[in-house]
Amino acid sequence: MFFFYCSACKGEMIQHKCNVDAVEGDQRSSLVKLLLCLEDTLKKGHHIQDECRREMLVHRRMLMSDYALSPEIVSECKTEMIQHCPSLFQQGASGSIGQRGGKMIHCLLGAARKERSFSSRCLTVINALVRAVDPGNDIRADPLLETACRPVIDTLCPRMKAGNSNVVLCLLDNLKNARMTEECEDRLMEVAYFMARDWRLTPRLMRTCQTNLKTFCQLPEDWSMNKELNDVQVGMYLGCLYQHRKNLDRECQGELKRIMHIRTQAIGLMPEIEDNCLTDLATCKNPEVKGEEFKCLQKKYNKLEEQCKAAVRNYTQMTMSDPTLDFLLMKACEPMMQTFCANIENGHENDLIRCLIKHKHEQKMDFR
């Protein structure tokens, strides 16, 4: 199988210097590195032949389905598999249902998000796998996620073409929809956790904002999918774009607004909150309405730990300058905006708030 992959992508491998390290003597170990190099080529706008793309998708699905195909996961994540995924871990087992179906990979993704004891070495390997497979870009690369969300996709995203993050962003945009299933949401958030922490895993934002990132945010010319980025750098780039939002190209501005809106759908999509508030969030696990964890943090503001308090304060200030980032406000007011303020164009948030205030005494105005 690896031979066919190399044959289909031989031209691209030579052109873009995606070399297989023969010294390792383990083709499986080289597969993630090869995929990362080709994904890097794609995301930088270079052309890759359809035959090679098809083989890339086949191998991405294989890697996301069977953890045993990734020697680094087997060696670096053994402790995590035993601790957090014991029912799926069988030492010496090969090709079990849990392995082939992608359950072990998703178990590790979920544990990376929730468990503080998750080792940095295992997390580095998991990060590399997610970048190589990039399930957020094309849901077909993740069989377990695709299967879990197929009924939701057919209902809420039926016309979305796979690729370019179309399907996954549509699902994230509908997290609060009544037709979103718990199974789909759980698998989706396991992948979205990594997407939210690496701007390179949102291809449309990358494509539309690359020039702006270089102009305003000092994005290095030699950025690469192969390099590790810490969460501070990732958040810095997104925050930088938001600070310069009024000066961005229109296409970049629109995509940034969409990403920022999607991030408000769940606390797991806001690393600057979730990562700084792990202890405090433990007391908000079961708010009255699922998805209102941030509101819970705001209510407990004076009792929060200092780093969490600072994160909540910063995000609250940001939503005050842009009310469309306040999901609960938008959810409650959307029908009223359609009724009274439909003529106000996107990007005029202050006008929108003034319009709602102006009509607050109207008989049709919802008291919420």
What residue ranges do the domains of the chain occupy?
2-195, 199-333, 334-368
Q: What pLDDT digit, counting tens, does each position of 168-190 carry?
A: 999 998 988 889 999 999 999 99
CB distance 314 to 272 below 8 Å? yes
Greatest mean pLDDT range, 290-299, 301-310, 334-343: 301-310
pTM value surpassing 0.85? no
Whether 305 contacts 214, CB under 8 Å: no
pLDDT at 121: 93
Distance CA 336, CA 98 (A): 48
Is it the case that residue 147 has pLDDT exceeding 90?
Answer: yes
Nearest CA-CA partner of 97 in 31, 149, 151, 143? 143
pLDDT at 103 over 80: yes
| Rounded to 5°, angle at Cα 125 from 40 and 189 | 85
Confidence of residue 23 (pLDDT cuts 50, 70, 90): very low
Name the more confident of 145 and 327.
145
In this prediction, residues 94-113 reach a mean pLDDT of 79
CB atoms within 10 A of CB 341: 18
In percent, how much of the chain has pLDDT > 90? 34
Tens digits of residue pLDDT in 330-353: 666 777 777 878 777 655 666 777
The residue type at 284:
C
pLDDT tier at 25 (50, 70, 90 boundaries)? very low
Pull the structure tokens for residue 179.
Answer: 């037709």
Does position 10 have pLDDT exceeding 90, yes or no?
Answer: no
Residue 222 vs residue 147, higher pLDDT: 147
Q: Is the pLDDT of residue 249 over 90?
A: yes
Residue in this structure with the two tokens 């407990």, named with its chain if needed: 300
